[in-house]
Amino acid sequence: MIQKAGILITVLLLIGAGLFAMNGKRVVEYSSQQFLMDTLVTIKVYGKDREQLRSAVNEAFAEMRHIAELSDRFPKPGSPAFLASDVCKINQMAGKQPVHVQPDTLAMLAMAQHYAELTGGAFDSTIGPVMDLWSFGSDTPSVPNPSSVQKALALVDWRAVVLDQVAGTVYLKKPGMKLDLGAVAKGYATEKASRLLQQRGIVSGLLDAGGNIRTIGINTAHKPWKIGIKDPRMAGKLAAVVTVQDASAVTSGDYYRSFEQDGLRYHHLINPHTGYPARHTRSSTVLTKDAGVADILSTAFFILPPDQALQLAEKLDGVDLVLITADGALRYTRPLQNRIIQENATGQPDDQRR
Amino acid sequence: MTRGDKLLLILVVLAAICSGIAILAHRHTPAPAASVCHAVVSVNSQPVARFVLSSGRALEEHTIRGPNGNAVLQTENGRIRMASSPCRDKLCVKHGWISKPGESIICLPERIVVRIEGQGEVDAVTR
């Protein structure tokens, strides 16, 4: 009996030692922030080797910086940043000749063209001339006069972008056309960074590029990530909370980059068909795997009338949509019914004048 | 094997399973939340200050040097806000008070981030 008990106690000690060894390397968090693409980017990853996490995150930031350089539209002509920007080179050669670009630029534009067609031009990467008129980034943004809006709109045409995948070139057919990858590049860069982290063995993490969220795997509590959707009218409040697993959540809202004139707010989400801010919606949040797709679709679904946006989202595989419309209603695609874990009341209806 | 042996064997196996579960569960138990909140301020991603946010505390002002001049933060009664900033858009000032773990105020032009330490009710906010 005593001998048997001794054997069993030894077995127990061995099991304990094994579990202790397994537990020896605890899961650690590594988090880092950088200002990139006019926003604050935070990457938070979890694993057992801090040095491996740090090195992977640094690589991910480098990848994002590269995409930021390729898509930067505003450096001074002739500056090193201008020479590094494919978008600047393409815009400079509009109506003149095709420009050789990096594979990432071609990939971003191929995606942009696909969704421009799918959304009937509600998303259009050639919106540059209209965005310049509104000059939301300047010290004195103002409502442009209707004739200059009409003139600029004549240059907005995604069908006049010629991509040559074999030659690796991009050509804008009309002189004066300008690409603006503002609604593509941040999501594309976030997705690339996320894939790089996964290639480096990261199985749990969260990338937050100014509110463009990409999650990797599940969180450290072994549950899907809980992502809040900002209330468009009440600071610090959430309109809803959704669960996300190994996927993205990207929002386009009318509360950023906006100004007031004659008592009306004008925001940067310009309808490529009218040249003026779209007014049906306060915010559009797209939930889907790829952060680049989510970025483009959140803009397109903001521009489209809510019914049309929801119908289109339900047709697309693996795409979900949450809209907060101008009347303050929260609407979402049917499969989200099980993933929305909290809904809060939103504010009063908006003024519908232009 | 006697009845006593069997009983001992069952007890030992149960003890091993229970201790295994306890150890594995402990690995994933988050640290208990601190009773007092702290706000961490960073400029250009470098931490420059940390303030205690506790209820009942009187208004205090803190000057933070940014790339284009001084920003002023106020702490009061468990909350913090950006009272003034040299930035153009003043979005950080308009943000108002924050008081919950995980909340943050970001001033992009001045590269200042104020974040309340700790896990919030959600993992992240899309905006």
**Is residue A14 a part of any domain in this protein?**
no
pLDDT at residue A224 is higher than 60: yes
- Between B20 and B63, name the one with better pLDDT: B63
CA distance A262 to A183: 28
**Is residue A178 a part of any domain in this protein?**
no
**Residue A209 and residue A61 in one domain:** yes
Give per-residue pLDDT as tens, A229-242.
999 988 778 999 99
CA distance B89 to A312: 36
Cβ contact B123–A40 (<8 Å)? no
CA distance A173 to A179: 12
Cβ contact A211–B95 (<8 Å)? no
Cβ contact B126–A5 (<8 Å)? no
**Is residue B64 a part of any domain in this protein?**
yes
pLDDT at residue B28 is higher than 60: no
**Is residue B127 a part of any domain in this protein?**
no
Query: Among the listed ranges A7-16, A135-144, A325-334, B65-74, which one has the minimum average pLDDT value?
Result: A7-16
**Residue B43 and residue B20 in one domain:** no
**Residue A49 and residue A85 in one domain:** no
Cβ distance B76 to B90 under 8 Å? no
Q: What ipTM did this prediction achieve?
A: 0.89
DSSP assignment of A34-47, as one string? EEETTEEEEEEEEE
Q: Which residue of B has its CA nearest to A230?
A: B127
Q: Which of A2, A3, A9, A12 to mutate to test the interface with B (most CBs of B within 10 A)?
A: A12
- Between B33 and A145, name the one with better pLDDT: A145
Q: Which of A11, A15, A39, A258 to mutate to test the interface with B (most CBs of B within 10 A)?
A: A15
Indicate the pairing of strand A330-332 with strand A320-325: antiparallel
CA distances from A326 to A300, A331, B83 (A): 16, 11, 31
What is the helix (H) or strand (E) element at residue A91, kind and residue range?
A: helix A86-92
* Residue A187 DSSP one-character state: H
* pTM of the predicted protein model: 0.86
pLDDT at residue A348 is higher than 50: yes
Domain that residue A159 falls in: 80-172
pLDDT at residue A277 is higher than 70: yes
Give per-residue pLDDT as tens, B49-68.
999 999 888 999 999 999 99
DSSP assignment of B44-74, as one string? TTEEEEEEEE-TTPPPEEEEEEETTEEEEEE
**Residue B111 and residue B64 in one domain:** yes
Cβ distance B33 to B39 under 8 Å? no
Specify the pLDDT at position B125.
94
Number of domains in chain B: 2
Q: Which of B111, B123, B127 sits opposite A211 (nearest CB)?
A: B127
**Residue B42 and residue B87 in one domain:** yes
Cβ contact A211–B126 (<8 Å)? yes
Distance of CA A105 to the CA centre of its chain: 16
Q: Which of A19, A206, A256 sits opposite B20 (nearest CB)?
A: A19
A215 chain-B contacts, CB cut-off 8 A: 123-124
pLDDT grade for A341, boundaries at 50, 70 and 90:
confident
DSSP reduced 3-state for A67: helix
B95 touches chain A (CB under 8 A): yes
**Is residue B76 a part of any domain in this protein?**
yes
Domain boundary among A172, A191, A213: A172
Q: Residue A113: which of A175, A157, A67 has the closest Cα?
A: A157
Average pLDDT over residues A86-96: 98
Domain boundary among A150, A172, A194: A172
B45 chain-A contacts, CB cut-off 8 A: 32-35
Q: Tokens 């909370």 identify what position?
A: A241
Q: Residue A279: which of A264, A294, A291 has the closest Cα?
A: A264
Distance of CA A181 to the CA centre of its chain: 11
CA distance A146 to A125: 21
pLDDT at residue B13 is higher than 90: no
Kindly report the CATH number assigned to the domain that includes residue A297: 3.10.520.10
**Residue B51 and residue B24 in one domain:** no
DSSP reduced 3-state for A193: helix
**Residue A35 and residue A86 in one domain:** no
Q: Tokens 């940390």 identify what position?
A: B50
**Residue A54 and residue A130 in one domain:** no
**Residue A229 and residue A308 in one domain:** yes
* Strand order from edge to edge, sheet including A238-244: A340-343, A238-244, A225-230, B124-126
**Residue A43 and residue A121 in one domain:** no
**Residue B62 and residue B88 in one domain:** yes
Count CA atoms closer than 13 A to A148's CA, side-chain side. Answer: 10
Q: Which of A33, A212, A251 sits opposite B45 (nearest CB)?
A: A33
Domain boundary among A172, A193, A220: A172
**Residue A318 and residue A246 in one domain:** yes
Average of per-residue pLDDT values in chain A: 92
What is the helix (H) or strand (E) element at residue A98, kind and residue range?
A: none
Q: Which residue of B has its CA nearest to A222?
A: B28
**Is residue B121 a part of any domain in this protein?**
no
Cβ contact A227–B124 (<8 Å)? yes
DSSP reduced 3-state for B36: coil
Kindly report the CATH number assigned to the domain that includes residue A104: 1.10.3980.10
Cβ distance A349 to A316 under 8 Å? no
Number of domains in chain A: 2
Average pLDDT over residues B30-41: 68
CA distances from A283 to A94, A129, A236, A255, A330 (A): 33, 24, 15, 8, 10
Specify the pLDDT at position A238.
92
Give per-residue pLDDT as tens, A173-191.
999 999 999 999 999 999 9
**Residue A282 and residue A158 in one domain:** no
Query: Among the listed ranges A46-50, A288-292, B92-96, which one has the minimum average pLDDT value?
Result: B92-96
**Residue B41 and residue B14 in one domain:** no
**Is residue B92 a part of any domain in this protein?**
yes
Cβ contact B4–A1 (<8 Å)? yes
Residue A350's contacts (CB-CB under 8 Å, 6 or more residues apart) are: A279, A282, A326, A327
**Residue A39 and residue A98 in one domain:** no
**Residue A259 and residue A278 in one domain:** yes
pLDDT at residue A260 is higher than 60: yes
**Is residue B101 a part of any domain in this protein?**
yes
Specify the pLDDT at position B56.
87
Indicate the pairing of strand B79-84 with strand B69-76: antiparallel
**Is residue A75 a part of any domain in this protein?**
no
**Is residue A57 a part of any domain in this protein?**
yes
Closest CA–CA distance from residue B50 to any residue of chain A (Å): 17
**Residue B55 and residue B100 in one domain:** yes
pLDDT at residue B33 is higher than 50: no
Closest CA–CA distance from residue B28 to any residue of chain A (Å): 6
pLDDT at residue A202 is higher than 80: yes
Domain that residue B100 falls in: 37-116
Helices A291-303 & A185-199, crossing angle to 10 degrees? 160
Query: Among the listed ranges A147-151, A299-303, A308-312, B42-46, which one has the minimum average pLDDT value?
Result: B42-46
**Is residue A114 a part of any domain in this protein?**
yes
